[in-house]
């Protein structure tokens, strides 16, 4: 079947089988903005006087008119990056798919991009970052995805126009970037939006509400060509767009054209978008940033979140402010119970390494999955996703997500199922018997008798009793398998 750029065509696709079975992916949200070690959106904030990033940049690099983000790219050599070692670690952790960032709002393509001279083979590390990630992922049996963020460079980079963002190729004679045109990187040969030099202005223009400030046809055509060539060259199983719905979706047909061409590449490909309505969630895979749905969704979906900042931040490591392994597995159990997958970013230093805290967290997640993975992988949602305080009053989504961080207690239970088994996972380790009120006789949800209960990771018999108001399990294990009669 050939797909066409319309919602009617795209919603006939359906979700490839591998995705709802996979449940857990790891993500390398890694590029030149990790080089300073100062967290998110560095390539924008460094041009905004008064921000902590601008003050840091002045002290470390000098004035941005003399050392702009193009020069940070030149400093980014990824000298200690070993994709084989990292992906082997991710596979041991239990990830079933791996996603690599292909470009960010900083507009550097991290592959040998024939449509964009500012790419990682020509500048920075002089390596095909996407290609090396893809080879490592496939060598370890992981599905491979890419994340694409560069549609927003047009407005996101506008603060650079007061510094080096309006330089031309002629200005580069005799410099390290001789032969390159900064206008291709910064995309600033246009009139900016009012208030472009304010930090949050870009947020109000994220979904391109004002036709006067839409990217021009050449910019849109270039983005489309880059994205499709990326997909054709590396044949990812997943393409994640950091956009409302699809890239440039308000500006014309280009977003739908890209999605249709991606679906025509191969049958297993997933396309992720954000802030989707119900119809769009049948055509694309809904991604929720740093948050989770509050119900069992009818279509498979994905949460994307991060252990710390999206881009590596030395301060997060120094202050030990990452999510813990317990928080990660609690989020995973919650998301999977609602028909979702968890895509977790592990920040990578500019040099290409992950730090000791992150390695310890991944080890903890891997140990938990080695014992409890049967309650996660290849499961389906049950009749209800769970019970407990967070199920009764789930936090509301804000914009594209941002509702994570609520309390996860042992009273918060999440259910998954497979075959004749039902799994009950507590979002924190219990300190006494597990009480499952949804499995009491009065709830009326079980249409088969319970024939056995066991704690995962423990072969000792488990005492249990089914009462009118609850199933009571005399065990302090975090995950229990409940066998049901035929």
266, 289, 312 - which closes a domain: 289
Beta-strand ranges (E) seen in 112-182 are: 143-148
Q: Is residue 13 a part of any domain in this protein?
A: yes
Residues 285 and 392 in one domain: no
Q: Is residue 115 a part of any domain in this protein?
A: yes
Residues 161 and 32 in one domain: yes
Q: Is residue 312 a part of any domain in this protein?
A: no
Whole-number Å distance between alpha carbons of 106 and 109 = 9
Beta-strand ranges (E) seen in 29-137 are: 97-103
289, 319, 335 - which closes a domain: 289
pLDDT at residue 407 in the model: 87
Q: Going residue by residue through the chain (486 aa), what tens digit of pLDDT does each one get?
A: 799 999 999 999 999 999 999 999 999 999 999 999 999 999 999 999 999 999 999 999 999 999 999 999 999 999 999 999 999 999 999 999 999 999 999 999 999 999 999 999 999 999 999 999 999 999 999 999 999 999 999 999 999 999 999 999 999 999 999 999 999 999 999 999 999 999 899 999 999 999 999 999 999 999 999 999 999 999 999 999 999 999 999 999 999 999 999 999 999 999 999 999 999 999 999 999 999 999 999 999 999 999 999 999 999 999 999 999 999 999 999 999 999 999 999 999 999 999 999 999 999 999 999 999 999 999 999 999 999 999 998 888 888 888 898 889 999 999 999 987 999 999 999 999 999 999 999 999 999 999 999 999 998 999 999 999 999 999 999 999 999 997
3-state SS assignment for residue 101: strand
Q: Is residue 363 a part of any domain in this protein?
A: no
Residues 120 and 222 in one domain: yes
Tally the C-alpha atoms within 13 A of residue 118's C-alpha that lie toward its C-beta. Answer: 28
How many Cβ atoms are within 10 Å of 77's Cβ, its own excluded? 15
The domain that holds 230 is classified in CATH as 3.20.20.80
Q: Is residue 302 a part of any domain in this protein?
A: no
Number of domains in the chain: 2
What is the span of the domain harbouring residue 232? 7-289
Kindly report the CA angle at 255 between 252 and 261, in degrees rounded to 5? Answer: 125
Would the CA dihedral through 207, 231, 303, 87 be positive or negative?
A: negative
Q: Is residue 137 a part of any domain in this protein?
A: yes
Query: 482 forms bridges with which residues in the sheet?
Result: 422, 453
Phi and psi torsions of 23, nearest 5°: 70, -40
Residues 190 and 62 in one domain: yes
pTM, whole model, 2 decimals? 0.97
Q: Is residue 174 a part of any domain in this protein?
A: yes
267, 289, 311 - which closes a domain: 289
pLDDT at residue 400 in the model: 83
Q: Is residue 48 a part of any domain in this protein?
A: yes
The domain that holds 387 is classified in CATH as 2.60.40.1180
Residues 252 and 399 in one domain: no
> For the chain, how many residues are written?
486
Whole-number Å distance between alpha carbons of 205 and 425 = 41
Whole-number Å distance between alpha carbons of 112 and 233 = 10
Pairing mode of beta strands 471-473, 479-484: unpaired
């Amino acid at each position: 079947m050939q797909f066409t750029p319309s919602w009617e065509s795209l919603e006939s696709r359906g979700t490839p089988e591998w995705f709802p079975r996979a449940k857990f992916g790891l993500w390398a949200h890694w590029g030149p903005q990790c080089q300073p070690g100062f967290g998110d959106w560095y390539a924008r904030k460094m041009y905004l006087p008064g921000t902590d990033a601008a003050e840091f940049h002045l002290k470390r690099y000098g004035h941005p008119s003399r050392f702009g983000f193009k020069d940070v790219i030149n400093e980014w050599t990824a000298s200690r990056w070993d994709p084989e070692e990292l992906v082997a670690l991710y596979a041991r952790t239990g990830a079933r798919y791996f996603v690599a960032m292909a470009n960010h709002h900083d507009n550097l393509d991290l592959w040998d991009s024939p449509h964009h001279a500012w790419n990682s083979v020509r500048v920075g590390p002089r390596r095909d970052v996407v290609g090396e990630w893809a080879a490592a992922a496939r060598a370890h049996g992981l599905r491979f995805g890419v994340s694409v963020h560069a549609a927003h460079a047009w407005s996101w980079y506008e603060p650079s126009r007061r510094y080096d963002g309006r330089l031309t190729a002629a200005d580069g004679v005799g410099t390290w970037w001789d032969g390159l045109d900064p206008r291709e990187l910064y995309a600033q040969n246009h009139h900016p939006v009012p208030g472009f030099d304010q930090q949050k202005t870009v947020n109000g223009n994220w979904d391109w509400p004002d036709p006067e400030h839409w990217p021009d046809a050449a910019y849109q055509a270039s983005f489309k060509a880059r994205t499709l060539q990326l997909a054709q060259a590396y044949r990812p199983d997943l393409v994640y767009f950091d956009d409302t719905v699809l890239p440039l979706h308000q500006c014309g047909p280009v977003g739908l054209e890209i999605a249709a061409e991606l679906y025509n590449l191969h049958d297993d490909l997933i396309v992720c978008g954000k802030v989707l309505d119900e119809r769009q969630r049948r055509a694309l895979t809904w991604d929720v940033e740093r948050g989770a749905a509050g119900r069992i969704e009818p279509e498979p979906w994905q949460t994307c979140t991060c252990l710390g900042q999206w881009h590596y931040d030395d301060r997060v490591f120094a202050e030990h402010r990452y999510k813990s392994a317990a928080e990660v597995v609690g989020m995973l159990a919650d998301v999977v119970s609602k028909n979702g997958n968890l895509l977790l970013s592990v920040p990578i230093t500019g040099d290409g390494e992950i730090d000791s805290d992150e390695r310890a967290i991944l080890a903890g997640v891997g140990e938990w999955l080695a014992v409890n993975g049967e309650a996660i992988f290849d499961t389906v949602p049950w009749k209800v996703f769970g019970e407990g305080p967070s199920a009764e009053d789930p936090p509301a989504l804000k914009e594209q997500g941002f509702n994570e961080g609520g309390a996860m207690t042992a009273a918060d239970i999440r259910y998954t199922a497979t075959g004749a088994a039902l799994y009950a996972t507590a979002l924190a380790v219990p300190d006494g018997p597990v009480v499952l009120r949804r499995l009491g006789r009065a709830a009326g949800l079980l249409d088969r008798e319970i024939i056995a209960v066991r704690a995962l990771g423990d072969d000792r018999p488990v005492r249990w009793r089914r009462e009118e108001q609850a199933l009571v399990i005399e065990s302090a294990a975090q995950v229990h398998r409940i066998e049901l009669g035929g």
